[in-house]
Structure 1
Amino acid sequence: MLRLRLLTWDVKDTLLRLRQPVGQSYAAEARAHGLQAQPEALAQAFWEAYEAQSRLFPNYGRGRGLSSQQWWVDVVKQTFRLSGVHEEGVVTLMAENLYHDFCSARNWEVLPGASETLSRCCQHGFCMGVVSNFDNRLENILTQCSLRHHFDFILTSEDAGFAKPDRRIFEKALHLAGVAPEQAAHVGDDYTRDYRAARAVGMHGFLLQAAGQGEELEVPPEHILPTLSHLLALIEKG
Protein backbone atom coordinates (compact mmCIF):
# COMPACT_ATOMS: atom_id res chain seq x y z
CA MET A 1 0.00 0.00 0.00
CA LEU A 2 1.24 3.51 -0.85
CA ARG A 3 2.02 5.52 2.31
CA LEU A 4 0.26 8.69 1.20
CA ARG A 5 -0.67 11.67 3.36
CA LEU A 6 -1.75 14.15 0.66
CA LEU A 7 -3.97 13.85 -2.41
CA THR A 8 -4.11 16.79 -4.81
CA TRP A 9 -6.76 17.08 -7.49
CA ASP A 10 -7.21 18.71 -10.87
CA VAL A 11 -10.79 20.02 -11.32
CA LYS A 12 -11.91 20.53 -14.93
CA ASP A 13 -12.76 17.18 -16.54
CA THR A 14 -11.52 15.39 -13.41
CA LEU A 15 -14.10 16.46 -10.80
CA LEU A 16 -16.30 18.88 -12.75
CA ARG A 17 -17.26 19.29 -16.39
CA LEU A 18 -19.25 21.86 -18.33
CA ARG A 19 -22.96 21.01 -18.58
CA GLN A 20 -22.93 21.97 -22.26
CA PRO A 21 -20.29 23.00 -24.81
CA VAL A 22 -19.04 26.59 -24.65
CA GLY A 23 -20.50 27.38 -28.09
CA GLN A 24 -24.01 26.48 -26.94
CA SER A 25 -23.77 28.65 -23.81
CA TYR A 26 -22.54 31.60 -25.85
CA ALA A 27 -25.23 31.10 -28.52
CA ALA A 28 -27.93 31.06 -25.80
CA GLU A 29 -26.59 34.35 -24.40
CA ALA A 30 -26.66 35.85 -27.90
CA ARG A 31 -30.26 34.68 -28.43
CA ALA A 32 -31.27 36.34 -25.13
CA HIS A 33 -30.15 39.64 -26.74
CA GLY A 34 -31.93 38.99 -30.03
CA LEU A 35 -28.77 38.00 -31.89
CA GLN A 36 -28.14 34.91 -34.00
CA ALA A 37 -24.78 33.15 -33.75
CA GLN A 38 -24.00 29.53 -34.55
CA PRO A 39 -22.71 27.37 -31.65
CA GLU A 40 -20.07 25.69 -33.88
CA ALA A 41 -18.71 29.04 -35.11
CA LEU A 42 -18.69 30.40 -31.55
CA ALA A 43 -16.85 27.32 -30.28
CA GLN A 44 -14.13 27.70 -32.91
CA ALA A 45 -13.89 31.44 -32.28
CA PHE A 46 -13.65 30.83 -28.53
CA TRP A 47 -10.61 28.56 -28.88
CA GLU A 48 -8.91 31.01 -31.24
CA ALA A 49 -9.53 33.89 -28.81
CA TYR A 50 -8.56 31.82 -25.75
CA GLU A 51 -5.28 30.61 -27.28
CA ALA A 52 -4.32 34.08 -28.54
CA GLN A 53 -5.04 35.62 -25.12
CA SER A 54 -3.10 32.84 -23.35
CA ARG A 55 -0.06 33.52 -25.53
CA LEU A 56 -0.21 37.28 -24.98
CA PHE A 57 -1.14 37.20 -21.29
CA PRO A 58 -0.36 33.78 -19.76
CA ASN A 59 -2.09 32.63 -16.57
CA TYR A 60 -5.01 35.11 -16.77
CA GLY A 61 -2.68 38.08 -17.20
CA ARG A 62 -1.34 37.71 -13.66
CA GLY A 63 1.61 40.06 -13.28
CA ARG A 64 0.69 41.83 -16.52
CA GLY A 65 -1.78 44.34 -15.07
CA LEU A 66 -4.95 42.41 -15.96
CA SER A 67 -7.45 40.96 -13.51
CA SER A 68 -8.68 37.48 -14.43
CA GLN A 69 -12.17 38.97 -14.89
CA GLN A 70 -10.83 41.47 -17.45
CA TRP A 71 -8.84 38.66 -19.10
CA TRP A 72 -11.96 36.53 -19.54
CA VAL A 73 -14.20 39.42 -20.59
CA ASP A 74 -11.69 40.23 -23.34
CA VAL A 75 -11.69 36.57 -24.50
CA VAL A 76 -15.50 36.48 -24.67
CA LYS A 77 -15.73 39.83 -26.49
CA GLN A 78 -13.18 38.66 -29.05
CA THR A 79 -15.11 35.38 -29.45
CA PHE A 80 -18.24 37.28 -30.46
CA ARG A 81 -16.31 39.65 -32.72
CA LEU A 82 -14.66 36.72 -34.54
CA SER A 83 -18.16 35.26 -35.00
CA GLY A 84 -19.38 38.44 -36.68
CA VAL A 85 -21.12 40.13 -33.73
CA HIS A 86 -19.85 43.71 -33.53
CA GLU A 87 -22.45 45.67 -31.48
CA GLU A 88 -19.90 46.74 -28.88
CA GLY A 89 -22.32 47.63 -26.06
CA VAL A 90 -24.16 44.30 -26.35
CA VAL A 91 -20.88 42.38 -26.73
CA THR A 92 -19.56 43.87 -23.47
CA LEU A 93 -22.81 43.10 -21.63
CA MET A 94 -22.85 39.48 -22.90
CA ALA A 95 -19.20 39.02 -21.94
CA GLU A 96 -19.83 40.23 -18.38
CA ASN A 97 -22.96 38.06 -18.07
CA LEU A 98 -21.08 34.96 -19.26
CA TYR A 99 -18.16 35.63 -16.90
CA HIS A 100 -20.59 35.54 -13.96
CA ASP A 101 -22.63 32.63 -15.37
CA PHE A 102 -19.55 30.40 -15.45
CA CYS A 103 -19.08 30.99 -11.73
CA SER A 104 -22.20 28.98 -10.85
CA ALA A 105 -23.41 25.39 -10.73
CA ARG A 106 -25.73 26.33 -13.60
CA ASN A 107 -22.84 25.72 -16.01
CA TRP A 108 -20.91 22.99 -14.15
CA GLU A 109 -21.78 19.45 -13.12
CA VAL A 110 -19.99 16.97 -10.90
CA LEU A 111 -18.50 14.01 -12.76
CA PRO A 112 -19.85 10.55 -11.91
CA GLY A 113 -18.19 9.07 -8.83
CA ALA A 114 -16.45 12.32 -7.83
CA SER A 115 -18.43 13.15 -4.67
CA GLU A 116 -18.32 9.56 -3.40
CA THR A 117 -14.60 9.19 -4.09
CA LEU A 118 -13.75 12.48 -2.37
CA SER A 119 -15.84 11.49 0.65
CA ARG A 120 -14.11 8.12 0.92
CA CYS A 121 -10.67 9.73 0.60
CA CYS A 122 -11.54 12.15 3.43
CA GLN A 123 -12.73 9.21 5.57
CA HIS A 124 -9.32 7.58 4.99
CA GLY A 125 -7.73 10.65 6.59
CA PHE A 126 -5.87 12.07 3.59
CA CYS A 127 -5.05 15.78 3.50
CA MET A 128 -6.89 16.98 0.37
CA GLY A 129 -6.02 19.87 -1.92
CA VAL A 130 -6.88 21.24 -5.35
CA VAL A 131 -4.11 22.12 -7.84
CA SER A 132 -5.80 23.64 -10.88
CA ASN A 133 -5.04 25.96 -13.81
CA PHE A 134 -8.13 27.98 -12.92
CA ASP A 135 -8.87 31.57 -11.96
CA ASN A 136 -10.12 32.81 -8.61
CA ARG A 137 -13.76 31.81 -9.30
CA LEU A 138 -12.88 28.21 -8.51
CA GLU A 139 -13.56 28.33 -4.77
CA ASN A 140 -17.09 29.60 -5.38
CA ILE A 141 -17.73 27.05 -8.15
CA LEU A 142 -16.65 24.19 -5.86
CA THR A 143 -18.88 25.56 -3.09
CA GLN A 144 -21.87 25.81 -5.45
CA CYS A 145 -21.26 22.25 -6.66
CA SER A 146 -21.06 20.98 -3.02
CA LEU A 147 -17.42 19.85 -3.28
CA ARG A 148 -15.54 22.60 -1.40
CA HIS A 149 -15.87 20.96 2.04
CA HIS A 150 -13.73 18.00 0.95
CA PHE A 151 -10.58 20.13 0.60
CA ASP A 152 -8.06 21.55 3.06
CA PHE A 153 -6.83 24.05 0.46
CA ILE A 154 -7.59 25.32 -3.05
CA LEU A 155 -4.54 26.32 -5.11
CA THR A 156 -5.27 27.91 -8.47
CA SER A 157 -2.67 28.99 -11.00
CA GLU A 158 -3.93 32.56 -10.56
CA ASP A 159 -3.26 32.38 -6.79
CA ALA A 160 0.05 30.55 -7.13
CA GLY A 161 1.43 32.67 -9.95
CA PHE A 162 2.44 29.49 -11.82
CA ALA A 163 0.40 27.18 -14.05
CA LYS A 164 0.77 23.43 -14.43
CA PRO A 165 3.04 21.86 -15.65
CA ASP A 166 5.33 24.35 -13.82
CA ARG A 167 6.77 22.39 -10.90
CA ARG A 168 6.41 25.40 -8.58
CA ILE A 169 2.63 25.04 -8.28
CA PHE A 170 3.08 21.46 -7.03
CA GLU A 171 5.90 22.53 -4.71
CA LYS A 172 3.60 25.19 -3.28
CA ALA A 173 0.90 22.56 -2.65
CA LEU A 174 3.41 20.29 -0.88
CA HIS A 175 4.54 23.25 1.24
CA LEU A 176 0.93 24.15 2.15
CA ALA A 177 0.32 20.59 3.32
CA GLY A 178 3.73 20.18 4.97
CA VAL A 179 4.21 16.88 3.14
CA ALA A 180 7.19 15.35 1.29
CA PRO A 181 6.65 14.60 -2.44
CA GLU A 182 6.82 10.81 -1.97
CA GLN A 183 3.92 11.06 0.52
CA ALA A 184 1.68 12.78 -2.02
CA ALA A 185 -0.23 11.86 -5.18
CA HIS A 186 -1.92 14.03 -7.80
CA VAL A 187 -5.07 12.99 -9.67
CA GLY A 188 -5.89 14.53 -13.06
CA ASP A 189 -6.94 13.90 -16.65
CA ASP A 190 -4.05 15.56 -18.53
CA TYR A 191 -0.87 13.56 -19.17
CA THR A 192 1.49 16.53 -19.42
CA ARG A 193 0.00 19.01 -16.95
CA ASP A 194 -1.16 16.52 -14.33
CA TYR A 195 0.50 13.11 -14.47
CA ARG A 196 3.96 13.90 -15.83
CA ALA A 197 4.27 17.24 -14.01
CA ALA A 198 3.45 15.71 -10.61
CA ARG A 199 5.86 12.83 -11.19
CA ALA A 200 8.60 15.32 -12.11
CA VAL A 201 8.53 16.74 -8.57
CA GLY A 202 8.62 13.26 -7.01
CA MET A 203 4.90 12.87 -6.34
CA HIS A 204 2.86 9.84 -7.31
CA GLY A 205 0.41 10.33 -10.15
CA PHE A 206 -2.92 8.89 -11.26
CA LEU A 207 -4.24 9.64 -14.75
CA LEU A 208 -8.00 9.59 -15.29
CA GLN A 209 -8.77 8.33 -18.78
CA ALA A 210 -11.45 6.33 -20.54
CA ALA A 211 -10.61 2.90 -21.95
CA GLY A 212 -8.62 3.07 -25.19
CA GLN A 213 -7.83 6.76 -24.73
CA GLY A 214 -4.16 7.70 -24.96
CA GLU A 215 -2.81 4.17 -24.82
CA GLU A 216 0.41 5.30 -26.50
CA LEU A 217 1.35 7.27 -23.35
CA GLU A 218 4.01 5.77 -21.13
CA VAL A 219 1.82 5.30 -18.07
CA PRO A 220 1.91 2.03 -16.12
CA PRO A 221 -1.56 0.45 -15.94
CA GLU A 222 -1.54 0.75 -12.13
CA HIS A 223 -1.46 4.55 -12.53
CA ILE A 224 -4.49 4.73 -14.85
CA LEU A 225 -7.98 5.38 -13.52
CA PRO A 226 -10.78 4.23 -15.86
CA THR A 227 -13.08 6.05 -13.36
CA LEU A 228 -12.47 7.98 -10.14
CA SER A 229 -14.06 5.12 -8.19
CA HIS A 230 -10.94 3.00 -8.91
CA LEU A 231 -8.63 5.34 -6.97
CA LEU A 232 -8.64 3.89 -3.46
CA ALA A 233 -8.19 0.33 -4.73
CA LEU A 234 -5.11 1.45 -6.71
CA ILE A 235 -3.67 3.29 -3.67
CA GLU A 236 -4.18 0.19 -1.52
CA LYS A 237 -2.53 -2.03 -4.16
CA GLY A 238 0.39 0.37 -4.70
Structure 2
Amino acid sequence: MYSGVMRAPLRWVLWDVKDTLLKVRLSVGEQYCKESERMGLSLSPTEVDAAFRQAYQSYSRRYPNYGIAQGLDGQSWWMGVVRDTFSQCRVQDPALLNTMAHNLYHNFSNAENWEVFPDSKTALESCSSLGLNLGVVSNFDNRLEAILRVCGLLSHFSFLITSEEAGVAKPSPVIFNQALQRCGVPAASVAHVGDHYVNDYLTSRAVGIHGLLLDRHNKHFQRNVPGEHRLSSLEELPSRLQQHMD
Protein backbone atom coordinates (compact mmCIF):
# COMPACT_ATOMS: atom_id res chain seq x y z
CA MET A 1 0.00 0.00 0.00
CA TYR A 2 2.67 2.48 1.13
CA SER A 3 4.99 1.87 -1.84
CA GLY A 4 2.00 2.23 -4.19
CA VAL A 5 1.24 5.65 -2.71
CA MET A 6 4.86 6.66 -3.12
CA ARG A 7 4.72 5.84 -6.84
CA ALA A 8 1.90 8.29 -7.56
CA PRO A 9 3.55 10.80 -9.90
CA LEU A 10 4.40 14.09 -8.28
CA ARG A 11 2.66 17.11 -9.84
CA TRP A 12 2.75 19.90 -7.26
CA VAL A 13 5.02 21.30 -4.56
CA LEU A 14 3.44 23.39 -1.81
CA TRP A 15 5.60 25.81 0.15
CA ASP A 16 5.69 27.41 3.55
CA VAL A 17 7.23 30.90 3.29
CA LYS A 18 8.56 32.44 6.52
CA ASP A 19 11.81 30.76 7.65
CA THR A 20 11.57 28.44 4.63
CA LEU A 21 12.01 30.78 1.63
CA LEU A 22 12.73 34.05 3.45
CA LYS A 23 13.20 35.44 6.95
CA VAL A 24 12.86 38.75 8.75
CA ARG A 25 16.14 40.62 8.16
CA LEU A 26 16.52 42.17 11.63
CA SER A 27 15.09 41.14 14.99
CA VAL A 28 11.63 42.51 15.73
CA GLY A 29 13.15 44.60 18.53
CA GLU A 30 15.57 46.25 16.09
CA GLN A 31 12.86 46.86 13.47
CA TYR A 32 10.46 48.36 16.02
CA CYS A 33 13.21 50.52 17.56
CA LYS A 34 14.06 51.98 14.14
CA GLU A 35 10.45 53.14 13.88
CA SER A 36 10.38 54.49 17.44
CA GLU A 37 13.63 56.43 16.79
CA ARG A 38 11.96 58.14 13.82
CA MET A 39 9.32 59.30 16.33
CA GLY A 40 11.96 60.67 18.72
CA LEU A 41 11.90 57.80 21.21
CA SER A 42 14.92 55.89 22.48
CA LEU A 43 14.08 52.30 23.43
CA SER A 44 16.15 49.16 24.00
CA PRO A 45 15.81 46.50 21.27
CA THR A 46 16.17 43.78 23.94
CA GLU A 47 13.32 45.22 25.99
CA VAL A 48 11.15 45.70 22.89
CA ASP A 49 11.87 42.11 21.76
CA ALA A 50 10.74 40.74 25.12
CA ALA A 51 7.62 42.93 25.11
CA PHE A 52 6.82 41.85 21.56
CA ARG A 53 7.07 38.16 22.44
CA GLN A 54 4.65 38.68 25.32
CA ALA A 55 2.20 40.73 23.22
CA TYR A 56 2.39 38.31 20.30
CA GLN A 57 1.76 35.26 22.51
CA SER A 58 -1.11 36.99 24.30
CA TYR A 59 -2.80 38.01 21.03
CA SER A 60 -2.22 34.56 19.51
CA ARG A 61 -4.00 32.97 22.48
CA ARG A 62 -6.88 35.46 22.67
CA TYR A 63 -7.34 36.03 18.94
CA PRO A 64 -5.92 33.01 17.04
CA ASN A 65 -5.22 33.36 13.31
CA TYR A 66 -5.42 37.17 13.26
CA GLY A 67 -8.73 37.15 15.14
CA ILE A 68 -10.71 36.31 12.00
CA ALA A 69 -13.35 34.46 14.05
CA GLN A 70 -13.71 37.52 16.34
CA GLY A 71 -14.13 40.04 13.53
CA LEU A 72 -10.54 41.26 13.35
CA ASP A 73 -8.26 41.09 10.31
CA GLY A 74 -4.51 40.90 9.82
CA GLN A 75 -3.97 44.66 9.95
CA SER A 76 -6.04 45.33 13.08
CA TRP A 77 -4.46 42.29 14.77
CA TRP A 78 -0.88 43.33 14.04
CA MET A 79 -1.57 46.95 15.00
CA GLY A 80 -2.88 45.68 18.33
CA VAL A 81 0.29 43.64 18.87
CA VAL A 82 2.47 46.68 18.08
CA ARG A 83 0.48 49.01 20.36
CA ASP A 84 0.68 46.46 23.21
CA THR A 85 4.42 46.00 22.65
CA PHE A 86 5.18 49.73 22.92
CA SER A 87 2.71 50.19 25.81
CA GLN A 88 4.73 47.65 27.80
CA CYS A 89 7.78 49.83 27.04
CA ARG A 90 6.08 52.85 28.68
CA VAL A 91 4.89 54.58 25.49
CA GLN A 92 1.48 55.99 26.47
CA ASP A 93 0.40 58.48 23.78
CA PRO A 94 -2.50 56.79 21.88
CA ALA A 95 -1.91 58.81 18.68
CA LEU A 96 1.79 57.96 18.69
CA LEU A 97 1.05 54.26 19.33
CA ASN A 98 -1.40 54.24 16.42
CA THR A 99 1.02 55.96 14.05
CA MET A 100 3.86 53.56 14.84
CA ALA A 101 1.53 50.54 14.57
CA HIS A 102 0.25 51.72 11.17
CA ASN A 103 3.77 52.46 9.87
CA LEU A 104 5.20 49.13 11.03
CA TYR A 105 2.34 47.15 9.52
CA HIS A 106 3.09 48.71 6.13
CA ASN A 107 6.90 48.64 6.55
CA PHE A 108 6.81 44.86 6.72
CA SER A 109 5.59 44.78 3.11
CA ASN A 110 8.93 46.28 1.99
CA ALA A 111 11.74 44.18 0.55
CA GLU A 112 14.38 45.68 2.86
CA ASN A 113 12.73 44.06 5.90
CA TRP A 114 13.04 40.56 4.43
CA GLU A 115 15.99 38.38 3.46
CA VAL A 116 15.50 35.66 0.84
CA PHE A 117 17.60 32.59 1.65
CA PRO A 118 20.39 32.07 -0.92
CA ASP A 119 19.05 28.65 -1.96
CA SER A 120 15.38 29.72 -2.41
CA LYS A 121 15.24 31.02 -5.99
CA THR A 122 17.34 28.20 -7.41
CA ALA A 123 15.15 25.60 -5.70
CA LEU A 124 11.96 27.19 -7.07
CA GLU A 125 13.45 27.37 -10.58
CA SER A 126 14.59 23.73 -10.33
CA CYS A 127 11.09 22.61 -9.35
CA SER A 128 9.58 24.46 -12.31
CA SER A 129 12.14 22.99 -14.71
CA LEU A 130 11.16 19.52 -13.45
CA GLY A 131 7.65 20.34 -14.69
CA LEU A 132 6.18 20.77 -11.21
CA ASN A 133 3.54 23.38 -10.32
CA LEU A 134 4.10 25.44 -7.17
CA GLY A 135 1.72 26.84 -4.57
CA VAL A 136 1.98 28.46 -1.13
CA VAL A 137 0.29 27.40 2.13
CA SER A 138 1.30 29.86 4.83
CA ASN A 139 0.19 31.01 8.28
CA PHE A 140 0.50 34.59 7.10
CA ASP A 141 -1.70 37.63 6.68
CA ASN A 142 -2.79 39.16 3.39
CA ARG A 143 0.47 41.10 2.91
CA LEU A 144 2.10 37.90 1.69
CA GLU A 145 1.44 38.50 -2.01
CA ALA A 146 3.04 41.96 -1.85
CA ILE A 147 6.03 40.61 0.10
CA LEU A 148 6.65 37.78 -2.36
CA ARG A 149 6.35 40.27 -5.23
CA VAL A 150 8.93 42.73 -3.86
CA CYS A 151 11.25 39.82 -2.98
CA GLY A 152 11.08 38.54 -6.57
CA LEU A 153 9.43 35.22 -5.73
CA LEU A 154 5.74 35.68 -6.59
CA SER A 155 5.95 34.66 -10.25
CA HIS A 156 6.98 31.11 -9.30
CA PHE A 157 3.58 30.31 -7.74
CA SER A 158 0.26 29.33 -9.30
CA PHE A 159 -1.64 30.21 -6.11
CA LEU A 160 -1.18 31.45 -2.55
CA ILE A 161 -3.30 30.40 0.42
CA THR A 162 -2.76 32.47 3.57
CA SER A 163 -4.34 31.56 6.88
CA GLU A 164 -5.98 35.01 6.96
CA GLU A 165 -7.67 34.38 3.61
CA ALA A 166 -8.48 30.72 4.40
CA GLY A 167 -9.94 31.56 7.82
CA VAL A 168 -8.01 28.63 9.27
CA ALA A 169 -4.34 28.09 10.10
CA LYS A 170 -1.86 25.23 10.10
CA PRO A 171 -1.84 22.76 11.87
CA SER A 172 -5.50 22.44 10.85
CA PRO A 173 -5.72 19.96 7.95
CA VAL A 174 -8.46 22.19 6.47
CA ILE A 175 -5.94 24.64 4.99
CA PHE A 176 -4.08 21.77 3.29
CA ASN A 177 -7.36 20.38 1.97
CA GLN A 178 -8.12 23.81 0.48
CA ALA A 179 -4.71 23.68 -1.21
CA LEU A 180 -5.37 20.18 -2.56
CA GLN A 181 -8.61 21.43 -4.12
CA ARG A 182 -6.61 24.16 -5.87
CA CYS A 183 -4.07 21.60 -7.08
CA GLY A 184 -6.80 19.33 -8.43
CA VAL A 185 -4.75 16.16 -7.89
CA PRO A 186 -4.66 13.52 -5.13
CA ALA A 187 -2.56 14.23 -2.03
CA ALA A 188 -0.10 11.52 -3.12
CA SER A 189 0.84 13.70 -6.12
CA VAL A 190 1.73 16.67 -3.89
CA ALA A 191 4.80 17.48 -1.78
CA HIS A 192 5.07 20.17 0.88
CA VAL A 193 8.25 21.92 2.08
CA GLY A 194 8.37 23.76 5.40
CA ASP A 195 10.47 24.34 8.51
CA HIS A 196 7.89 23.64 11.25
CA TYR A 197 7.75 20.09 12.58
CA VAL A 198 4.03 20.11 13.47
CA ASN A 199 2.51 22.74 11.17
CA ASP A 200 4.38 21.74 8.02
CA TYR A 201 5.70 18.21 8.39
CA LEU A 202 3.23 16.28 10.56
CA THR A 203 0.09 18.02 9.28
CA SER A 204 0.88 17.65 5.57
CA ARG A 205 1.78 13.98 6.12
CA ALA A 206 -1.48 13.44 8.01
CA VAL A 207 -3.50 14.37 4.90
CA GLY A 208 -1.36 12.16 2.62
CA ILE A 209 0.97 14.83 1.19
CA HIS A 210 4.72 14.09 0.95
CA GLY A 211 5.81 16.41 3.76
CA LEU A 212 9.49 17.40 3.76
CA LEU A 213 10.97 19.08 6.84
CA LEU A 214 13.51 21.82 6.11
CA ASP A 215 15.89 21.80 9.08
CA ARG A 216 18.64 24.31 8.22
CA HIS A 217 20.07 24.39 11.77
CA ASN A 218 19.54 20.74 12.76
CA LYS A 219 16.95 21.77 15.37
CA HIS A 220 14.88 18.63 14.91
CA PHE A 221 17.62 15.98 15.10
CA GLN A 222 15.89 14.34 18.11
CA ARG A 223 12.55 14.09 16.31
CA ASN A 224 11.49 10.86 14.68
CA VAL A 225 11.87 12.15 11.11
CA PRO A 226 13.26 9.67 8.54
CA GLY A 227 16.34 10.92 6.73
CA GLU A 228 14.53 10.92 3.36
CA HIS A 229 11.94 13.37 4.78
CA ARG A 230 14.52 15.85 6.08
CA LEU A 231 16.35 18.59 4.15
CA SER A 232 19.31 20.50 5.58
CA SER A 233 19.09 22.95 2.66
CA LEU A 234 16.85 23.52 -0.35
CA GLU A 235 19.74 22.44 -2.58
CA GLU A 236 18.79 18.86 -1.67
CA LEU A 237 15.18 19.29 -2.80
CA PRO A 238 15.28 18.64 -6.59
CA SER A 239 16.93 15.22 -6.29
CA ARG A 240 14.54 14.29 -3.47
CA LEU A 241 11.52 15.23 -5.60
CA GLN A 242 12.81 13.38 -8.65
CA GLN A 243 12.59 10.15 -6.68
CA HIS A 244 8.79 10.62 -6.67
CA MET A 245 8.59 11.45 -10.38
CA ASP A 246 10.12 8.36 -11.96
Q: TM-score range by the shorter chain?
A: over 0.9
Match 1:125 to one of 113, 127, 131: 131
User: Aligned to 1:62, what secondary structure does the other structure show?
Assistant: helix
Structure 1 CA distance for aligned equivalents of residues 129 and 229 of structure 2: 22
**Residues 1:197 and 2:199 are matched in the alignment:** no
Deviation at 1:211, TM superposition (A): 5.1
Partner of 2:171: 165
- The aligned runs of 1:114-193 (5 Å cut-off) are 114-193=120-199
**Residues 1:111 and 2:117 are matched in the alignment:** yes
Partner of 1:223: 229
After superposition, what is the alpha-carbon deviation per residue over 1:194-235, rounded to whole angstroms, capped at 9, x for unaligned? 000000001101111135422111110111111011101112
User: Aligned to 1:131, what secondary structure does the other structure show?
Assistant: strand
Deviation at 1:83, TM superposition (A): 1.4
Deviation at 1:69, TM superposition (A): 0.6
Structure 2 CA distance for aligned equivalents of residues 228 and 204 of structure 1: 15
1:47 alignment partner AA: R
Deviates more, 1:56-65 or 1:156-165: 56-65
Structure 1 CA distance for aligned equivalents of residues 217 and 16 of structure 2: 20
After superposition, what is the alpha-carbon deviation per residue over 1:24-51, rounded to whole angstroms, capped at 9, x for unaligned? 0001111111101110111111111111
Say whether the 8 Å CA contact 2:22–2:115 is kept in structure 1. yes
Say whether the 8 Å CA contact 2:51–2:85 is kept in structure 1. yes
**Residues 1:61 and 2:71 are matched in the alignment:** no
1:199 alignment partner AA: R
Identify if the C-alpha distance between structure 1 residues 91 and 225 changes in structure 2 by more than 3 Å, giving closer, same or farther. same
User: Aligned to 2:26, what secondary structure does the other structure show?
Assistant: coil
Structure 2 CA distance for aligned equivalents of residues 184 and 48 of structure 1: 37
Structure 2 CA distance for aligned equivalents of residues 84 and 103 of structure 1: 27
Which 5+ residue runs of structure 1 have no aligned equivalent?
none
Deviates more, 1:75-84 or 1:202-211: 202-211
1:78 alignment partner AA: D
**Residues 1:9 and 2:15 are matched in the alignment:** yes
Say whether the 8 Å CA contact 2:218–2:232 is kept in structure 1. no
Deviation at 1:81, TM superposition (A): 0.5
Fraction of identical pairs, as percent: 46
Which 5+ residue runs of structure 2 have no aligned equivalent?
1-5
Deviation at 1:236, TM superposition (A): 2.3
User: Aligned to 2:134, what secondary structure does the other structure show?
Assistant: strand
Structure 1 CA distance for aligned equivalents of residues 35 and 103 of structure 2: 8
Partner of 1:83: 89
TM-score by length of 2: 0.94
After superposition, what is the alpha-carbon deviation per residue over 1:61-80, rounded to whole angstroms, capped at 9, x for unaligned? 11311121111101000000
User: Aligned to 1:63, what secondary structure does the other structure show?
Assistant: helix
Q: Which runs of 4+ in 1 moved over 2 A?
A: 210-213
Structure 1 CA distance for aligned equivalents of residues 116 and 40 of structure 2: 32
1:198 alignment partner AA: S
Structure 1 CA distance for aligned equivalents of residues 217 and 55 of structure 2: 32
TM-score by length of 1: 0.97
Deviation at 1:57, TM superposition (A): 1.1
Deviates more, 1:64-73 or 1:182-191: 64-73
* CA RMSD in angstroms, aligned pairs only: 1.2
Deviation at 1:84, TM superposition (A): 1.6
